[in-house]
């Protein structure tokens, strides 16, 4: 079978890869029906993701059908449509018992490296092995298409985590820096927590328009002082919660200055370099900073929101390619051609 694999010199290729097999009784083999390209796949291509170098099979956002299940798997059987989390977790280590499954010492993004496309073979191919299947898979209801379900395992879960970590309460004002898939996932999640106002900041017109379609007030970062515009929109007080969903040092510093005294900044963007925090200023304002990787434990509930029509993530999928066209898909996605937001791949 073919898969998208990192090559030397920051290149990708669609090449032959080994078909997966059951290794542990808790494994399943999933036939991939839809996968997606993520910004972190591009970061991995360029060597910015530790543990994802040449030879890595990419892809951590995917849905599919169970082909084979290990003897210890209780919740899933061959023929089930499933959505997988971007990372695996064992469910028994100290981090998992605390509910911080993203820091699982046997899986997790920074634990044992058990992330699809970093430590585990990824999903931009035809078949994939999923470890700890009873933990890391959710059923896809019959009425939910692949094109929406594929976002639950990363985009929606991470955006929801950002909103949850921001402690958004009913009536809060929220500002989100970045209208990419994660930022838009945070936007639709903010409404679920009862935000009265959500302001989205970006530089791309098509992304700002999509944020508008989801009910946000928007600020074009190309046009004037963003922080001043956020404070003006909040009648001179600043937002209750700011979410940084880009991984941009300037955006993070703007987020710090955009919240009110005692406000919260929730960070889910992945940064390419260190950021100097102006603690000599922020300490006097009591700004709370929450950061970390998205928790995936809410996947069943988020899938339920889609099933009941409370959330429509379909507009995020702007382009679809066959797996054989993966190189063209990456070119379009990485270079933001044709107003691309999110690209799906079909084996």
Residue 114 above 70 pLDDT? no
Mean pLDDT for the stretch of residues 249-253: 96
pLDDT band at 166 (very low <50, low <70, confident <90, very high): very high
What is the pLDDT at residue 62? 98
Query: Burial code of 309-341, b = ≥16 C-beta within 10 A, e = fewer?
Result: eebebeebbbbbbebeebeebbebbbeeeeebb
**Measured between alpha carbons, how far is 191 from 171 in angstroms, rounded to an integer?**
10
pLDDT band at 315 (very low <50, low <70, confident <90, very high): very high
Residue 111 above 50 pLDDT? no
Three-state secondary structure call for residue 278: coil
- Mean pLDDT for the chain overall: 94
CB-based contacts of 68, cutoff 8 Å, min separation 6: 22, 28, 29, 78
**Measured between alpha carbons, how far is 266 from 268 in angstroms, rounded to an integer?**
7
What is the pLDDT at residue 113? 54
Mean pLDDT for the stretch of residues 232-256: 96
CB-based contacts of 129, cutoff 8 Å, min separation 6: 20, 21, 22, 23, 27, 28, 29, 30, 120, 121
**Boundaries of every domain in the chain:** 2-150+317-346, 159-291
**Measured between alpha carbons, how far is 43 from 168 in angstroms, rounded to an integer?**
30
* Candidate from 15-19, 46-50, 182-186, 328-332 with smallest mean pLDDT: 46-50
Contact between 17 and 126 under an 8 Å Cβ cutoff? The reply is: no
CATH number of 159-291: 3.40.50.720
Residue 112 above 70 pLDDT? no
**Measured between alpha carbons, how far is 116 from 298 in angstroms, rounded to an integer?**
19
Beta strands in the chain (DSSP E): 2-7, 11-16, 28-37, 61-69, 81-84, 115-116, 119-120, 127-130, 137-139, 173-177, 197-202, 217-220, 239-244, 259-267, 288-291, 319-322, 343-346
Mean pLDDT for the stretch of residues 293-309: 93
The number of helix segments (H) and strand segments (E) in the chain equals 12, 17
Mean pLDDT for the stretch of residues 63-84: 98
What is the pLDDT at residue 109? 61
Residue 70 above 50 pLDDT? yes
Mean pLDDT for the stretch of residues 135-163: 97
Residue 110 above 80 pLDDT? no
CATH number of 2-150+317-346: 3.90.180.10
% of the chain beyond a pLDDT of 70: 98
* pTM, to two decimals: 0.95
Which value, to the nearest 10 degrees, does the dihedral of the CA atoms of residues 341, 64, 122, 110 take? 80
Mean pLDDT for the stretch of residues 74-85: 98
Say if residue 249 is exposed, middle or buried (CB neighbours under 10 Å; 0-12, 13-18, 19+). Answer: middle
């Amino acid at each position: 079978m073919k898969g998208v694999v990192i090559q030397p010199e920051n290149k990708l290729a669609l090449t032959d890869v080994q078909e997966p097999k059951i290794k542990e009784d808790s494994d399943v083999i999933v036939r991939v029906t839809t996968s997606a390209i993520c910004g972190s796949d591009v970061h991995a291509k360029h060597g910015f993701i530790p543990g994802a170098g040449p030879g890595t099979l990419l892809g951590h956002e995917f849905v599919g059908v169970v082909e084979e299940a290990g003897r210890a798997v209780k919740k899933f059987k061959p023929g089930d449509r499933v959505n997988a989390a971007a990372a695996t977790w064992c469910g028994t280590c100290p981090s998992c018992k605390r509910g911080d499954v993203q820091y699982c010492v046997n899986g997790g993004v920074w634990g044992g490296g058990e992330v699809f496309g970093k430590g585990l073979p990824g999903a931009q191919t035809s078949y994939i092995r999923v470890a700890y299947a009873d933990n890391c898979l959710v059923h896809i209801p019959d009425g939910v298409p692949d094109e929406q379900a594929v976002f639950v395992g990363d985009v929606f879960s991470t955006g929801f985590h950002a909103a949850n970590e921001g402690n958004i309460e009913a009536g809060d004002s929220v500002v989100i820096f970045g209208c990419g898939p994660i930022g838009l996932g945070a936007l639709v999640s903010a409404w679920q927590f009862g935000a009265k106002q959500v302001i989205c900041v970006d530089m791309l017109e098509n992304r700002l328009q999509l944020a508008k379609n989801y009910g946000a007030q928007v600020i074009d970062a190309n046009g004037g002082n963003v922080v001043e515009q956020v404070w003006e929109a909040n009648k001179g007080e600043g937002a209750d919660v700011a979410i940084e969903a880009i991984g941009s040092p300037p955006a993070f510093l703007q987020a710090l200055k955009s919240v009110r005294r005692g406000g919260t900044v929730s960070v889910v963007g992945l940064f390419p370099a260190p950021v100097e925090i102006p603690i000599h200023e922020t300490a006097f304002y009591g700004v709370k900073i929450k950061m970390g990787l998205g928790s995936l434990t809410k996947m069943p509930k988020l899938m339920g929101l889609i099933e009941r029509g409370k959330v429509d993530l379909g507009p995020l999928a702007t382009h679809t390619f066959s797996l054989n066209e993966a190189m063209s898909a990456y070119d379009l996605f990485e270079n933001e051609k044709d107003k691309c937001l999110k690209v799906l791949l079909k084996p």
